[in-house]
Amino acid sequence: MPSSEVLVPLPGAARPRDALSRPLRDLRISVMDRCNFRCPYCMPRERYHESYRFLKSAERLSFEEIVRLTRLFVALGVRKLRLTGGEPLLRANLADLIGDLTSISGIEDVALTTNGILLARHAAELKAAGLERITVSLDSLDPAIFARMSGGFAGVDDVLDGIEHARRAGLSPIKVNAVIQRGINDHTALDLVERFRGTDVIVRFIEYMDVGNRNHWERELVVPSQELLERIGARWPVVPLDRNYRGEVAARYGFSDGGGEIGFISSVTQPFCGDCSRARLSSDGAFYTCLFATVGASLRDPLRAGASDEELLALIRGTWSARADRYSELRAQRRVAGERRKVEMYYIGG
Ligand SMILES: C[S@@+](CC[C@H](N)C(=O)[O-])C[C@H]1O[C@@H](n2cnc3c(N)ncnc32)[C@H](O)[C@@H]1O
Ligand code: SF4
């Protein structure tokens, strides 16, 4: 059935709640498992080498399949979408997909997370297709540290150029995500604040997380957001701001002198599982209910085998209803069992 015909109005009561009573509100879609960077905390180069077997094109969901599944998620309560990867701008004609997704009735927000390298080339067409806002990852303005944390395939200026093109194209707000690792880039965090203070770019610091099993995560490398907040606040006083909406992952702070805002995503020291309404769709169509999940439910296989919308809805609803994930809370309580096998972030999407 063409995706335009898939409209499944469901009464509010049919919207699933998971085992911890959390609704399904957000969907993160990984449109591309490949990446043109090799950030050691995500896709360490020794594991993702030239002969690593990424998905073949036919294994990835087509745009039509993504749109069909998204409509079903919307019928179950999803209102916000984030396109991610891998590097989403490596996916050819991504603007076409954005155009289709932004026109789905019920969708209130479509966002995109990118490493920014291809953004200068694509910002205007993304905006024209209906994208309103964008998140660009940039861990440090120091060229050597940036190279170390991204794999050395491009420079800081390329990312800054991408941000500038996004600004000129009218994408707003622009958020900059920086993963902070102790002894690697934490001493350059204030430079990022200084660079973007007083502009409309919002810098958000992310605690280094133990996603996947391949990034050699060590708790000692995590800089607690509270520590970073104190360092920043000592230089530029800040006040806490209210959350924009329930379930927002970043804690927001405004500069007392009116110089804009910053955010902290603290999944290690201040887990936010209690409000988590996020589902994730991998590039090959597996439905994951947590960033730290071990298994996903394939939606692509039944879809390609001819499943009806009702059958797919039942699968999504059943998977969400059974969800009891609260990995980050358990990690904080040191109740995570040893070396469990988790899905990798580039595949499921950040
Ligand atoms: C997986 S990336 C995908 C999108 C795009 N390639 C990018 O880098 O923005 C999404 C976000 O996850 C973050 N990320 C990746 N691995 C992480 C980790 N181990 N801990 C915290 N954040 C991580 C990245 O810095 C990025 O901001
Ligand atoms: S964080 Fe983004 S840019 Fe870096 S390797 Fe992962 S997917 Fe690529």
pLDDT tens string 24-75: 999 999 999 999 999 999 999 988 988 999 999 999 999 999 999 999 999 9
What's the confidence (pLDDT) of residue 1? 42
Residue 42 near ligand 2, beta carbon < 6 Å:
yes
Residue 85 near ligand 2, beta carbon < 6 Å:
yes
What's the confidence (pLDDT) of residue 338? 56
Helix axes 156-169, 119-128, angle to 10 degrees: 20
Tell me the average pLDDT across 80-86: 97
Mutate to test the pocket of ligand 2, among 33, 47, 115, 347 (most ligand atoms within 8 A of CB): 115
Residue 302 has pLDDT above 80, yes or no: yes
Q: In the numeric block, which tokens belong to residue 107?
A: 């969708």
Q: In the numeric block, which tokens belong to residue 32?
A: 């591309």
What's the confidence (pLDDT) of residue 245? 84
Cα 42 to ligand 1 centre (Å) = 7
The minimum-distance atom of ligand 2 relative to the CA of 87 is: 7
What's the confidence (pLDDT) of residue 339? 58
Residue 16 near ligand 2, beta carbon < 6 Å:
no
Mutate to test the pocket of ligand 1, among 34, 42, 192 (most ligand atoms within 8 A of CB): 42
Cα 130 to ligand 1 centre (Å) = 24
The minimum-distance atom of ligand 1 relative to the CA of 267 is: 21
What's the confidence (pLDDT) of residue 4? 46
What's the confidence (pLDDT) of residue 332? 72
What's the confidence (pLDDT) of residue 218? 86
Reported confidence tier of residue 337, pLDDT bands at 50, 70, 90: low
For residues 323 and 332, give the distance between their C-alpha atoms in angstroms, rounded to a whole number: 19
Residue 288 near ligand 2, beta carbon < 6 Å:
no
Q: Which has more pLDDT, 261 or 332?
A: 261
Q: What are phi and psi of 131, to 5 degrees?
A: -70, 135
What's the confidence (pLDDT) of residue 13? 44
Q: Is 142 exposed, middle or buried (0-12, 13-18, 19+ CB in 10 A)?
A: middle
Q: 173 preceded by cis ω (within 30°)?
A: yes
What's the confidence (pLDDT) of residue 341? 67
Q: Encode 157-196: b = buried (16+ Cβ within 10 Å), e = exposed.
A: ebbbbbbebbbebebeebbbbbbbbbebbbebbbebbeeb
The minimum-distance atom of ligand 2 relative to the CA of 35 is: 8
What's the confidence (pLDDT) of residue 2? 45
What's the confidence (pLDDT) of residue 328? 76
User: Considering only 13-22, 163-172, 254-263, 310-319, which range has the smallest mean pLDDT?
Assistant: 13-22
Mutate to test the pocket of ligand 2, among 29, 32, 33, 35 (most ligand atoms within 8 A of CB): 35
Going by CA atoms, what residue is nearest to atom 8 of ligand 1? 115
CA–chain centroid gap for 169, Å, is 22
Residue 86 near ligand 2, beta carbon < 6 Å:
yes
Residue 179 near ligand 1, beta carbon < 6 Å:
yes
pLDDT digits (tens, 9 = 90+) for 95-115: 999 999 999 999 999 999 999
Residue 171 near ligand 1, beta carbon < 6 Å:
no
What's the confidence (pLDDT) of residue 126? 98
Q: Pick the closest to residue 278 from 301, 310, 244, 246 (CA basis).
A: 246
% pLDDT > 70, the chain: 92
Going by CA atoms, what residue is nearest to atom 15 of ligand 1? 42
- Please tell me the number of the ligand nearest to residue 179's CA: 1
CA distances from 140 to 34, 259, 280, 284, 319 (A): 23, 20, 28, 32, 39
- In which residue are the tokens 């026109």 written? 103
Reported confidence tier of residue 327, pLDDT bands at 50, 70, 90: confident
What's the confidence (pLDDT) of residue 340? 63
For residues 143 and 185, give the distance between their C-alpha atoms in angstroms, rounded to a whole number: 11
pLDDT digits (tens, 9 = 90+) for 189-236: 999 999 999 999 999 999 999 876 766 788 899 999 999 999 999 999
Cα 132 to ligand 1 centre (Å) = 20
Reported confidence tier of residue 336, pLDDT bands at 50, 70, 90: low
Q: What is the mean pLDDT of the chain?
A: 91
